[in-house]
Amino acid sequence: MASAQSIKKVDILINGRSYTINCPESEEPALQRAASYINQFMQEVRRQAPQLPQEELLVLCALTLFEKSENLQRYQENESQAQDLVGKMLEDVVRFA
């Protein structure tokens, strides 16, 4: 029988504000890495657009991070297609050799 995973309250800091997040204990390192990345990213955006209100800064960061995620997904799909094509080309070379 599987045991229930322990949930832990984790404090993270994003753009100078503290947030308490409930997460499985095993996921705390990933949560801390994500919070650190988002915090650094928000600070970069804040330096470039210091006049943005907090809410608009959050929206801009969310949209930009989504775009980065989409670009990464497209890149991975293209890479997979390229690997498939190379594999087929190698099969053809071996077959016709």
- Same domain for 91 and 64, yes or no, is yes
- Same domain for 57 and 20, yes or no, is no
Per-residue pLDDT, 28: 96
- Same domain for 77 and 32, yes or no, is no
**Number of domains, the chain:** 2
pLDDT means per 10 residues, the chain with 97 residues, are: 78 93 96 95 92 92 94 93 89 84
- Same domain for 35 and 5, yes or no, is yes
The parent domain of residue 41 ranges over 1-51
- Same domain for 75 and 44, yes or no, is no
- Same domain for 2 and 40, yes or no, is yes
| Dihedral over Cα of 40, 34, 14, 70: its sign | positive
H or E element, residue 40: helix 28-48
Q: What is the pTM of this model?
A: 0.70
- Same domain for 75 and 86, yes or no, is yes
